[in-house]
């Protein structure tokens, strides 16, 4: 790995850390709901919706970014039905959705709230 690649990797890690801290702040302030991994049932429903980007074949009609964003929208709309994300900035919603997705597929065991 080149020095430039190492710098970029470190920068990406720092951005990811800052995003997580910001989302956690919003959760503490009750501006976002608590993070929770999908249950197996919810993950299977996500698969059936053809929005699970780890399991989709990408085509000219649906690019990886489109499927990823659809995945996060599906999570927000179906797992957090009672929370209204409509007026939040899109980037906050995308990072929140990504964090839930990461919890779902992560190695760290968690409790379902």
Supply the pLDDT for residue 64.
80
pLDDT tens-digit series, residues 45-58: 999 998 998 887 76
pLDDT tens-digit series, residues 65-91: 888 999 999 999 999 999 999 999 999
Confidence band for 42, pLDDT divided at 50, 70 and 90? very high
Supply the pLDDT for residue 80.
97
* Whole-number Cα distances in Å, 59 to 39, 62, 71, 74, 81: 28, 5, 16, 20, 30
């Amino acid at each position: 790995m080149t020095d430039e690649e190492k710098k970029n990797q470190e920068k990406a890690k720092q951005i990811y850390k800052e995003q997580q801290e910001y989302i956690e702040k919003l959760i503490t302030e009750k501006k976002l709901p608590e993070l929770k991994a999908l249950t197996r049932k919810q993950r299977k429903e996500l698969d059936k919706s053809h929005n699970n980007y780890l399991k989709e074949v990408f085509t000219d009609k649906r690019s990886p970014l489109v499927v990823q964003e659809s995945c996060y929208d599906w999570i927000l709309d179906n797992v957090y039905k009672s929370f209204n994300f409509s007026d939040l900035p899109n980037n906050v919603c995308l990072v929140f959705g990504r964090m839930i997705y990461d919890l779902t597929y992560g190695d760290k065991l968690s409790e379902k709230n």
